[in-house]
Amino acid sequence: MPIHSTPTVTECRCHSTAETLSVFTFYPSVMLGEQRCISMPNPDYVITKVSYDSDHSRITHVRRAEYDNSENSFGPTTEKSRQTVVDSTESGYEYYTVPPKGDGGYTWGDSVEVIPIDGEKFIRTDGNEVEGDNLEELPEY
């Protein structure tokens, strides 16, 4: 499933050095038709949906898919436990949310972080140290 970006996407190498090649994407700006250069996410996995416990404070499972940067898309999702997301994030894997768009596609959300509070680990996109999971605008299943 492709992830939609803002229209008129063009690659540039404006922040590259001899040692590294950073690929950025131009987005049209509302101010005077200028363009600005923004880095695109390149996560290992994307999360498309969440399932909560009965009091709605903790995510029990997510729908996760591997992200293919070369195609800017992801394949079929599989159900994974919240603990799997915590463990793999702490092992260095990067997750991003991809909320649905009205046209049936997806758009980039936010990076998923593990926030430890009082010995429990929560998955959040807002970074707040609040007891509870929060992946914002993802639909439930």
pLDDT in tens, 85-100: 999 999 999 999 999 8
Tokens of 69: 């940067």
CB environment 78-89: b (16+ within 10 A), e (fewer): eebebeebbebb
Please state the domain extents for the chain: 3-39, 45-124
- Cβ-Cβ contacts under 8 Å for 64 (sequence gap 6 or more): 45, 46, 47, 48, 77, 78, 79, 80, 85, 95
Give 12's pLDDT tier (boundaries 50, 70, 90). very low
Give 69's pLDDT tier (boundaries 50, 70, 90). confident
SS3 133: coil
Residue 38 pLDDT greater than 60, yes or no: no
Percent of the chain with pLDDT over 90: 43
CB 8 within 8 A of CB 27: yes
Burial of 2 (0-12, 13-18, 19+ CB in 10 A): exposed
What is the pLDDT, as a whole number, of residue 26? 42
